[in-house]
Structure 1
Amino acid sequence: MSSKFKPGRSGNPAGKPKGRENSATTLARRALQEASPEILAKLIENAKAGDPTALKILAPRLLPTQRAIAPIELPDTSTPEGGAEALVQLVAMVAEGSMGHDEARSIASMIETSAAFYQGALKFSEMYRVIVEVVCDSDPEVQRRVINGLKLLSNTIGQTDSKFLNRA
């Protein structure tokens, strides 16, 4: 059985474009934006008069909750093992209730970024080592050019590994 509509094609190509708001939503948003100064003034007036609902709405915006983050000791995250150990420690802290999910997620993201950076640095260092070993067996002029190119590249991206570069 065939359908008159083809997969991936709109049944109404001249219809409302994707992402465009409904016109009623646009009108309501515009009306709210225009009235917002008066609404805010009335909300403040009601809060000053002691209206608990108005106070409940305004209080979090006037006095945002500030959560103190207690310093924590984590293992060195520059190795995959240390990163894994730190993540296990975070999970344990969440499980025991000494750290919230959002805090743990933030710290885990930093650990992941740190691990990716160190992995990149290790790969880059290994690439230097292989290139230098190959170049060291070649013509001295080629060695000089390749080593200078690697030094330039390492300065460009902030990675230097003088142990390998100074062998030539």
Structure 2
Amino acid sequence: MTDDNSQNSKRKGFQPGQSGNPAGRPPGTRNKTLLALECLMDGEALELTRKVVEDAKNGDSVAMRLCMDRIFPPRKDRPVRFKIPNLAKASDAVQASAAIVQAVAEGELSPSEASELSKVVQGWIEALKASDHDERLARIEEALAGDK
């Protein structure tokens, strides 16, 4: 069985939690593999693009998908049409959350859409808490200043 201290002594000059290269990789340094691939592709991109488009026109489904993904990429996100109850006070967040859950149950919202909307409600709650905290702190500071 090896002792941890004997292993650490093999790595002379390095302390736990300290990098052996504190300056790190210089800014702008590029990956050698990427540079090699770029050299291989240099001057070939136009010809390859034409070939893929030609294959797509001739019915190659993989080439068609590649072309369509470039022309019309799949949407990552979309606006959600959902009437969320008015959020004016903390207790309103309960009604908003209930409305979100109800919309999922009725199929009006997908679970992922509901999750994102719930994050919006949660963010509003956090903002409300921060605002309330600031107001309370200001009142305490005013009271302390008035006592002096």
Q: Judge same fold: TM > 0.5, yes or no.
A: yes
Q: How far, CA to CA, are the matches of 2:105 and 2:112 in structure 1?
A: 13
Structure 1 residues 126, 33: closer, same or farther in 2, change over 3 A? farther
Q: Deviations over 1:48-82 (max 9, x none)?
A: 23322211222233234567645212233454433
Partner of 1:2: 3
**1:5-20 counterparts in 2 under 5 A?**
5-6=7-8, 8=16
RCO higher in 1 or 2 (8 Å CA, sep ≥ 6)? 1
Q: TM-score, normalised on structure 2?
A: 0.60
Q: How far, CA to CA, are the matches of 1:47 and 1:88 in structure 2?
A: 48
Q: Does 1:57 align with 2:66?
A: yes
Structure 1 residues 60, 85: closer, same or farther in 2, change over 3 A? farther
User: Percentage identity across aligned positions?
Assistant: 20
Q: TM-score, normalised on structure 1?
A: 0.55
Q: Deviations over 1:87-114 (max 9, x none)?
A: 3443454455432344334323322322
Structure 1 residues 2, 68: closer, same or farther in 2, change over 3 A? closer
Letter in 2 for 1:53: V
Partner of 1:127: 137
What residue ranges of structure 1 are gaps of 5+ in the alignment? 139-168
**1:1-80 counterparts in 2 under 5 A?**
1-3=2-4, 4-6=6-8, 8=16, 23=32, 25-27=33-35, 29-31=37-39, 34=42, 35-65=44-74, 69-80=79-90
